[in-house]
Structure 1
Amino acid sequence: MNDTAAARPAGTPSVPPPRRPGQVRGTHPHAAAFAASADHTVPAERRLPERYSVRDQVLNALRSALVSGELRPGAVYSAPSLAERYGVSATPVREAMQLLAREGAVEAMPNRGFRVAERSARDLAELAEVRALIEVPVVLGLARTIAPERWEALRPLAAATVAAAARGDRAAYADSDRVFHRAMLELSGNHQLVAVADELHRRSQWPVSGPSRAPSRPAELLADATEHAVLLEALVAGDVVTVESLVREHFSGSAWG
């Protein structure tokens, strides 16, 4: 018996030594050091980004496939089949599809895979209405307060939408279109607003079932993209009346703007 045990009165419960800062309850004080020494070659913190990078790449590829119509509304896709298509394991595909399920783009089907959500023109109209309620007043407020040179900085983003539209690249247009709108709203300095508007914008770009108002030909995409350049001209000039007319028409006339 050690001196500490001998000095403790009979019946006194045993008190474990105090935990060191950062020690998890129930672990040995040196457990962290033992775990760290178990893998000298590839620490866990160096492995994680690689795994998440693969998932993010798959997520971006799946989003592009959704926008382009490659993944059809109502169709069911299994993680192994998609993994084979993209040349990856099934795990990052499942993780990416689960993220899309949280966003409402797909629905998990037990023992089958994921079904692409089916949406109607009514769904698109409702999204456009909500986006207009958020973006129109914000852009009008910015038109009255933002200096012309800050609007000028957005010209390359508007040009990117035109270039993607001219190629007829629907997925690239969807990405550049969303970047342009997000850049405009970021001038407000309201990060929560930007996040909400960007999510609504992404949802508005998902495919619909049956006839769709979304432009499919390069000329239709180009018409939508040109609205960005015209809107920027009005913003640089401080023409609030024209800005209001353009931004309201942009939401009412296009499911992609």
Structure 2
Amino acid sequence: MTDSKPRTLISVQERLRDQVAHALRAALISGELRPGAVYSAPALAADFGVSATPVREAMLDLAREGLVEAVRNKGFRVTEVTERDLDDFTEIRALIEVPTVGRVTRSATREQLEALRPVALEIVAAAREHDLIGYLEADRQFHLTLLALAGNARLVEVVGDLRKRSRLYGLTRLDERGDLVSSAEEHLELLDIMLTGDAPAAESCMTRHLGHVRSLWAEGRELPPEEKSALRLRTR
């Protein structure tokens, strides 16, 4: 009996930490937390109505994911990712995921592939319901579970890390325009192609999907004033 209270307390603290981390990810996706800006744990804690400890712990979790970086005696800076970074991340993902999808198409059983259909449907449902966190989580689960069928755990880790570092920017604006639904439906298209056993077609579909995701990033990112001015000059 004496051991139950500490465990309960730790459990409550962990749940609060997870809740704060969830809220912070949502703020990053929506753009409320701006790339390059520094935020202190006490200030964020005041916004959330909690103590600074779970916020600090949650921010450390995000730092391990590459979403923020610690700034000594100030707080945490939201990581800035350039267009070049996004191009590089997409290129690496394509080099890994496209041939792996071909391999899995040739080797996976129908049962293994069909097990992914509920997750693919989840992605579409989340896009239609404007559930951005749900969309990202289901999308992550689909891609990493699919890659895991190749039997290489290290490969899955690498792609998982790339996905964290290249989180979808401007997701809220894309959702408002309805562009997420078409991207979400590509997961069902990929799955149906893989079930036919046509590996080249599956690789082609994955290539197109990754390219589509990259174009969504570009469309969803809000250009800074200086880039907007440069764009206006170029189009005159």
Note whether the superposition's TM-score is higher than 0.5.
yes
1:240 matches 2:185: no
- Of 73-82 and 199-208, deviating more is 199-208
Matched, 1:130 2:92: yes
**Normalized per residue, which structure has more helix?**
2
Normalised by the length of structure 2, the TM-score is 0.81
Aligned AA for 2:119?
L
Give 2:136's match in structure 1, choosing from 174, 182, 187: 174
Q: For residue 24 of structure 2, what is the aligned residue in structure 1?
A: 62
Tell me what 2:125 maps to: 163
Say if 1:166 and 1:218, in contact at 8 Å, map to a contact too.
Answer: no
Give the aligned partner of residue 17 of structure 1: none
Long gaps (5+) in structure 1: 1-38
Unaligned runs of 5+ in 2: 218-236
Give 1:230's aligned residue.
189
Once the two structures are aligned, what percentage of the paired residues are identical? 47
Q: Give 2:105's aligned amino acid.
A: A
Name which one, 1 or 2, has greater alpha-carbon Rg: 1
Q: Taking structure 1 as reference, are residues 41 and 226 closer, same or farther at Cα in structure 2, changes over 3 Å only?
A: closer
Q: Residue 229 of structure 1: CA displacement? A: 0.7
Give the Å deviation of 1:58: 1.7
Q: Alpha carbon RMSD of aligned pairs, Å?
A: 2.4
Give 1:88 shift. Answer: 2.1
1:41 & 1:237 partners in 2: Cα distance?
55
Asked if residue 193 in structure 1 is aligned to residue 155 in structure 2, the reply is yes
Q: Which amino acid aligns with 2:118?
A: P
After TM superposition, give the deviation of residue 230 of structure 1 in Å: 0.4
- CA deviation string 1:157-177 (max 9, x = no partner): 111111111233333221211
Equivalent residue, structure 1, for 2:222: none
1:144 to 93, 101, 106: 106
SS at match of 2:178: helix
Q: Deviations over 1:102-150 (max 9, x none)?
A: 3321122233321211222221111111111221121110100111222
Count residues in correspondence: 215
Q: In the aligned structure 2, how far is the partner of 1:122 from the partner of 1:171? A: 25
**1:50 partner letter:** V
Describe the shift of the 1:42–1:155 C-alpha distance in structure 2 as closer, same or farther (beyond 3 A).
closer
Cα distance in 1 for partners of 2:188, 2:165 equals: 23
State the alpha-carbon separation in 1 of the partners of residues 127 and 177 from structure 2: 6
Moved more, 188-197 or 86-95: 188-197
What is the alpha-carbon distance in structure 2 between the residues aligned to residue 124 and residue 251 of structure 1?
Answer: 11
Is the aligned partner of 1:219 residue 2:178? yes
The amino acid that maps onto 2:75 is G
Q: Which shifted more, 184-193 or 145-154?
A: 184-193
